Chain A
Amino acid sequence: MSFTGPLSIITLVPLLSGLILLVLPNVLPNDVSMRMKASVRNVAIGLSSAIFLLTTLIFIGTIGQIDWLSIGMGDYVLETEDPVWLIESIGVTWHLGTDALSFPMIWLTTLLIPISMLVQWDAEDGHSFHSLLLIMEGALIGVFVSLDLFVFYIFWELTLVPMFFLIMIWGGEDRKYASMKFFIYTFTASVLMLVGILVMYFNTVADPNYAGTLTGHHFNLVLMTEQSRVDGLITSEGLRHFVWLLLLIGFATKMPSVPVHTWLPDAHVQAPTAGSMLLAGVMLKMGAYGFLRIAVAMFPESTLTFVPLLVFLGMASLVYGAVVCLGQTNLKRMVAYSSVSHMGLIFLGIATMQPLGFAGALFMMFAHGIISPLLFAVAGSFKHHYHTLEIGSMRGIAHHSPFLAGHMMLGWMGSLGLPLLAGFVAEVAIMIAFWMTFGWWVLLPALTLIFTALYYLTSMQKMIFESDDPHTGKLPDTMHDEEPRDVTWHENAGMFVLGALTILFGILPFIFWDMMSAWSTEFIQTYLVHAMNMLEASP
Chain B
Amino acid sequence: MILSSSEAAAMAPEMAIMVGILFAILVPNLGDAKARIPLTSFKFPILWGGTRFEITSDPRAPGIISTVSLAVACILSLYAIESSDGKAISGVMEITGFGRFMSMVFTAALAITAAASIYRIPSTKITVDDAKDADERTTLSLMDNRRQVDLHILLMMVALGMSLMALSTNLFFLIVCLELASMASYVLVGFHKESRIGGEAGAKYFIVGSIASATGIYGMSLLYLWAGSLDFASLSASWAAMDTLDPLAGIGVGLMLVAFGFKVSAAPFHLAAPDAYSGTNAPIAGMLATASKAMGFVAMMRVLVGFAAPNEAVTAWAPALGVLAIITMTWGNLAALSSENPKRMLAYSSVAHAGYMLAALAALGSGLADSNTQDLLQMAIVFHLSVLVLFKMGAFLVLTLLEIEGTGKSISDMNGLARRDPIVASSMFVFMLSLAGIPPLSGFLSKFLMINGLVTTTTDTGAVTATNAMSWLQSVDPYFLLALAIVLNSALSLFYYLRIGLLMFFEEPITDSPLPKAPLLKVAILVSMVLTVLFGLGPASEWLLSLVETAISTF
Please, how many angstroms separate the alpha-carbon atoms of A191 and B472 in the complex?
20
A526 within 8 A of B: no
Q: Interface segment, A196-204, A290-298, A506-514? A: A196-204
* Residues of A with C-beta under 8 A to B499: 180
Q: A158-B439, A238-B472 are in contact. Are A191 and B467 (CB under 8 A)?
A: no
* Residues of B with C-beta under 8 A to A187: 438, 490-491, 494
Distance in angstroms from A146 CB to nearest chain B CB is 12
Please tell me if the beta carbons of A238 and B495 are within 8 angstroms of each other in the complex. no
Please tell me if the beta carbons of A183 and B549 are within 8 angstroms of each other in the complex. no
Please tell me if the beta carbons of A242 and B469 are within 8 angstroms of each other in the complex. yes
B459 within 8 A of A: yes
Size of interface on A: residues with Cβ below 8 Å to B:
48
Q: A184-B498, A198-B451, A241-B469 are in contact. Are A153 and B549 (CB under 8 A)?
A: no
* Tally of contacts, chain A with chain B, CB under 8 A: 143
Q: Which residues of chain A in 163-201 are interfacial with respect to chain B, using CB atoms and an 8 Å cutoff?
A: 164-165, 168-169, 175-176, 179-180, 183-184, 187-188, 191-192, 194-195, 198-199, 201
Please, how many angstroms separate the alpha-carbon atoms of A195 and B451 in the complex?
7
Please tell me if the beta carbons of B495 and A89 are within 8 angstroms of each other in the complex. no
Contact of A183 among B375, B476, B494 (CB under 8 A): B494
In the complex formed, the residue of B with least CB distance to A538 is B467
In the complex formed, the residue of B with least CB distance to A22 is B426
Please tell me if the beta carbons of B502 and A245 are within 8 angstroms of each other in the complex. no
Please tell me if the beta carbons of B464 and A180 are within 8 angstroms of each other in the complex. no
Distance in angstroms from B419 CB to nearest chain A CB is 11
Q: Interface segment, B225-233, B239-247, B538-546? A: B538-546
Please, how many angstroms separate the alpha-carbon atoms of A195 and B476 in the complex?
15
* Residues of A with C-beta under 8 A to B487: 191-192, 194-195
Distance in angstroms from B3 CB to nearest chain A CB is 36
Q: What are 25 A-to-B residue pairs whose CB atoms are below 8 Å?
A: A27-B423, A86-B537, A86-B538, A89-B549, A90-B545, A153-B439, A154-B444, A157-B438, A176-B506, A180-B498, A188-B491, A191-B437, A192-B488, A195-B483, A198-B483, A202-B455, A203-B459, A214-B376, A215-B376, A216-B372, A235-B464, A237-B468, A238-B465, A239-B459, A242-B469
Distance in angstroms from A140 CB to nearest chain B CB is 15
A403 within 8 A of B: no
* Residues of A with C-beta under 8 A to B438: 157, 160-161, 187
- What residues make up the interface of A, taking CB atoms closer than 8 Å to B? 26-27, 85-90, 92, 153-154, 157-158, 160-161, 164-165, 168-169, 175-176, 179-180, 183-184, 187-188, 191-192, 194-195, 198-199, 201-203, 214-216, 235-239, 241-242, 244-245
* Residues of A with C-beta under 8 A to B488: 188, 191-192
Please, how many angstroms separate the alpha-carbon atoms of A245 and B459 in the complex?
16
B466 within 8 A of A: yes
In the complex formed, the residue of B with least CB distance to A89 is B545
* Residues of A with C-beta under 8 A to B439: 153-154, 157-158
* Residues of A with C-beta under 8 A to B423: 26-27
Q: A187-B494, A238-B462, A238-B467 are in contact. List 8 more A-B contacts (CB 8 A).
A: A26-B423, A164-B498, A176-B506, A183-B498, A195-B484, A214-B376, A235-B464, A241-B468
Please tell me if the beta carbons of B505 and A169 are within 8 angstroms of each other in the complex. yes
Q: A201-B452, A238-B467, A242-B472 are in contact. Are A165 and B505 (CB under 8 A)?
A: yes
- 0/1 string, B289-312, CB within 8 A of A gives 1: 000000000000000000000000
Distance in angstroms from A298 CB to nearest chain B CB is 16
Distance in angstroms from B283 CB to nearest chain A CB is 26
Please tell me if the beta carbons of B459 and A180 are within 8 angstroms of each other in the complex. no
Q: A194-B487, A199-B459 are in contact. Are A242 and B473 (CB under 8 A)?
A: yes
Size of interface on B: residues with Cβ below 8 Å to A:
55
Please tell me if the beta carbons of A90 and B462 are within 8 angstroms of each other in the complex. no
Which of B379, B444, B452, B466: most chain A Cβ within 10 A?
B452
Please, how many angstroms separate the alpha-carbon atoms of A245 and B469 in the complex?
8
Please, how many angstroms separate the alpha-carbon atoms of A175 and B507 in the complex?
12
Q: Which residues of chain B in 92-133 are interfacial with respect to chain A, using CB atoms and an 8 Å cutoff?
A: none
Please tell me if the beta carbons of B455 and A176 are within 8 angstroms of each other in the complex. no
Distance in angstroms from A376 CB to nearest chain B CB is 23
Please tell me if the beta carbons of A26 and B422 are within 8 angstroms of each other in the complex. yes
Please tell me if the beta carbons of B455 and A195 are within 8 angstroms of each other in the complex. yes
- What residues make up the interface of B, taking CB atoms closer than 8 Å to A? 372, 375-376, 379, 422-423, 433, 437-440, 444-445, 448-449, 451-452, 455-456, 459, 462-473, 475-476, 483-484, 487-488, 490-491, 494-495, 498-499, 501-502, 505-506, 537-538, 541-542, 545-546, 549
* Residues of B with C-beta under 8 A to A235: 464
Distance in angstroms from B381 CB to nearest chain A CB is 15
Please tell me if the beta carbons of A169 and B464 are within 8 angstroms of each other in the complex. no
Contact of B468 among A157, A158, A195, A238 (CB under 8 A): A238
Please, how many angstroms separate the alpha-carbon atoms of A169 and B437 in the complex?
23
In the complex formed, the residue of A with least CB distance to B541 is A87
Please, how many angstroms separate the alpha-carbon atoms of A195 and B537 in the complex?
19
Please tell me if the beta carbons of A90 and B452 are within 8 angstroms of each other in the complex. yes
Which of B487, B488, B490, B546: most chain A Cβ within 10 A?
B487
* Residues of A with C-beta under 8 A to B501: 164, 168
* Residues of B with C-beta under 8 A to A168: 501-502, 505-506
Distance in angstroms from A488 CB to nearest chain B CB is 28
Contact of B465 among A184, A202, A236, A241 (CB under 8 A): A236
Please, how many angstroms separate the alpha-carbon atoms of A157 and B490 in the complex?
13
Please, how many angstroms separate the alpha-carbon atoms of A154 and B433 in the complex?
13
Distance in angstroms from A335 CB to nearest chain B CB is 26
Please, how many angstroms separate the alpha-carbon atoms of A235 and B491 in the complex?
30
Please, how many angstroms separate the alpha-carbon atoms of A201 and B456 in the complex?
9
Distance in angstroms from B334 CB to nearest chain A CB is 15
* Residues of B with C-beta under 8 A to A245: 469
Please, how many angstroms separate the alpha-carbon atoms of A165 and B430 in the complex?
13
Distance in angstroms from A163 CB to nearest chain B CB is 13
Please, how many angstroms separate the alpha-carbon atoms of A165 and B456 in the complex?
36
* Residues of B with C-beta under 8 A to A160: 438
Please, how many angstroms separate the alpha-carbon atoms of A71 and B353 in the complex?
46
Distance in angstroms from A169 CB to nearest chain B CB is 6
Please tell me if the beta carbons of A202 and B459 are within 8 angstroms of each other in the complex. yes
Please, how many angstroms separate the alpha-carbon atoms of A202 and B369 in the complex?
13
Please tell me if the beta carbons of A241 and B472 are within 8 angstroms of each other in the complex. yes
* Residues of B with C-beta under 8 A to A161: 433, 438
Please, how many angstroms separate the alpha-carbon atoms of A165 and B448 in the complex?
25
3 shortest interchain CB distances as A-B pairs = A238-B466, A238-B472, A188-B491
Contact of A236 among B451, B455, B463, B491 (CB under 8 A): B463
* Residues of A with C-beta under 8 A to B541: 87
Please tell me if the beta carbons of B546 and A89 are within 8 angstroms of each other in the complex. yes
Please, how many angstroms separate the alpha-carbon atoms of A238 and B542 in the complex?
35
Contact of B490 among A153, A191, A242 (CB under 8 A): A191
Please, how many angstroms separate the alpha-carbon atoms of A175 and B433 in the complex?
19
* Residues of A with C-beta under 8 A to B452: 90, 198, 201-202, 215
